């Protein structure tokens, strides 16, 4: 495995880094207070190819590799996790799922609009009583002539109230668990489809999180994504992509926590010397550096596997597990390095801490990643 970036990957990194430094980072705190960032930002990102990195040019994407995708998520995540969350849902959970499971007509209809930022997508899997236990979804899909009637509720849906299209998972045979699940592409303007913004979050305040309500939403059979009964497979393959996006973004968060801590430690004077000269402060900075580099290498390893077209579930779970926990550790350590100022919103560490906390929850909790890895090691599932 070659750990050096290609010239093309370096160009992508430098381009996104400049964009994030100019267009995102200076406004992150302002957007957090407003509980939203400008949707026009996504149009700009679409024009630059950042919304469709691994999508073929045929469908409006940039047709780049998965290491390039990770670089985009890392650089955007370095500037603001709220924007990165919106970006990774759009690209990892929605676009790549349509690319893998969609018909040619679906791909040509949806992907160009999503890659350009004209449309925003969301991923409707989680429900009030179905998070990690995805097979327990209560949303139903009932046959209605040549179409389907969808009814149910989804919660904690990133991009939920912004979305123009939603991938909605529903149960076609109540009581059949995974066997009866199906996935549907639903236009948000369809009668019976409504959404409501969720507030009171700890972090990611500038990202859109909503609840979706479906009241006999009628969709044609042509909106089905994959076959009836394949919904669980669609969801799990999507989550593999989503976890890769989260892990990549968390590398950026970990790096940001390290950078602001090093800068502060050099500037902050105590006992007539910069605190960077104290060994216990250096110990914290060193551990943050190790965690950041290890997380990045695990993400790149998972990206290399994805680039080979190999099954990437385990490498992605390993990367997601380590990178999300590393981001949390680094953000917490950054608060410690900053001392009392780290507890204040005058400095970044408290925001980094709040934003990183959810990363070990969504797209599969830390505990779920451990179960996936443990099952692979032993061949024994924790689930009946």
Give the dihedral sign, CA 351/156/122/165: negative
Nearest to 181 by CA among 149, 140, 132: 140
* Cα(181)–Cα(323) distance, integer angstroms: 31
Nearest to 3 by CA among 241, 254, 294: 294
Q: Using the 8-state DSSP alphabet, how is residue 38 labeled?
A: -
Instruction: Identify each DSSP E strand in the chain by its residue range.
Output: 121-124, 140-144, 147-158, 165-171, 181-187, 193-197, 209-220, 224-225, 269-270, 273-274
* Cα(261)–Cα(333) distance, integer angstroms: 9
Q: Are 335 and 342 in contact (CB under 8 A)?
A: yes
- Determine whether 363 is an active site residue: yes
The two structure tokens encoding residue 145: 């002539």
- Locus of tokens 């507030």: 199
* Cα(313)–Cα(316) distance, integer angstroms: 5
Q: Which residues pair with 185 in a beta bridge?
A: 167
**Catalytic hit among 74, 325, 350, 363:** 363
Q: Which residues pair with 152 in a beta bridge?
A: 214
The two structure tokens encoding residue 260: 């602001």
The residues annotated as belonging to the active site are 363
């Amino acid at each position: 495995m070659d750990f050096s970036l290609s010239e093309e990957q370096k160009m992508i990194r430098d381009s996104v880094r400049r964009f994030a430094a100019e267009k995102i980072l200076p406004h992150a705190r302002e957007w957090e207070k407003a509980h939203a960032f400008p949707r026009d930002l996504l149009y700009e990102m679409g024009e630059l190819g950042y919304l469709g990195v691994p999508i073929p040019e045929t469908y409006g994407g940039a047709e780049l590799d998965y290491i390039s995708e990770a670089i985009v998520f890392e650089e955007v995540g370095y500037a603001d996790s709220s924007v990165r969350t919106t970006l990774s849902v759009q690209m990892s959970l929605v676009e790549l799922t349509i690319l893998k499971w969609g018909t040619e007509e679906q791909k040509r209809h949806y992907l160009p609009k999503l890659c350009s930022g004209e449309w925003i997508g969301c991923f409707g899997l989680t429900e009030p009583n179905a998070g990690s236990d995805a097979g327990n979804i209560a949303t139903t899909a009932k046959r209605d002539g040549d179409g389907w009637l969808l009814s149910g509720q989804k919660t904690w849906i990133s991009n939920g109230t912004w979305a123009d299209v939603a991938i909605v998972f529903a149960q076609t045979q109540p009581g059949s668990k995974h066997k009866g699940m199906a996935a549907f592409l639903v236009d948000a303007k369809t009668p019976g489809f409504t959404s409501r913004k969720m507030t009171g979050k700890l972090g990611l305040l500038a990202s859109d999180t909503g609840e979706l309500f479906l009241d006999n939403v009628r969709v044609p059979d042509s909106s089905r994504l994959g076959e009836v009964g394949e919904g669980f497979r669609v969801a799990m393959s999507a989550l593999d992509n989503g976890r890769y996006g989260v892990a990549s973004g968390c590398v950026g968060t970990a790096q940001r926590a390290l950078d602001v801590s090093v800068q502060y430690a050099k500037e902050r004077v105590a006992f007539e010397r910069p605190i960077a000269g104290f060994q216990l402060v250096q110990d914290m900075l060193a551990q943050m550096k190790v965690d950041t580099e290890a997380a990045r290498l695990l993400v790149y390893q998972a990206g290399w596997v994805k680039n080979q077209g190999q099954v990437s579930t385990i490498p992605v779970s390993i990367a997601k597990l380590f990178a999300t926990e590393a981001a949390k550790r680094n953000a917490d350590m950054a608060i410690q390095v900053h001392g009392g100022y780290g507890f204040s919103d005058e400095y970044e560490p408290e925001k980094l801490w709040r934003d990183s906390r959810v990363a070990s929850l969504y797209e599969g909790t830390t505990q779920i990643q451990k179960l996936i890895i443990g099952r692979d090691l032993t061949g024994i599932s924790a689930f009946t």
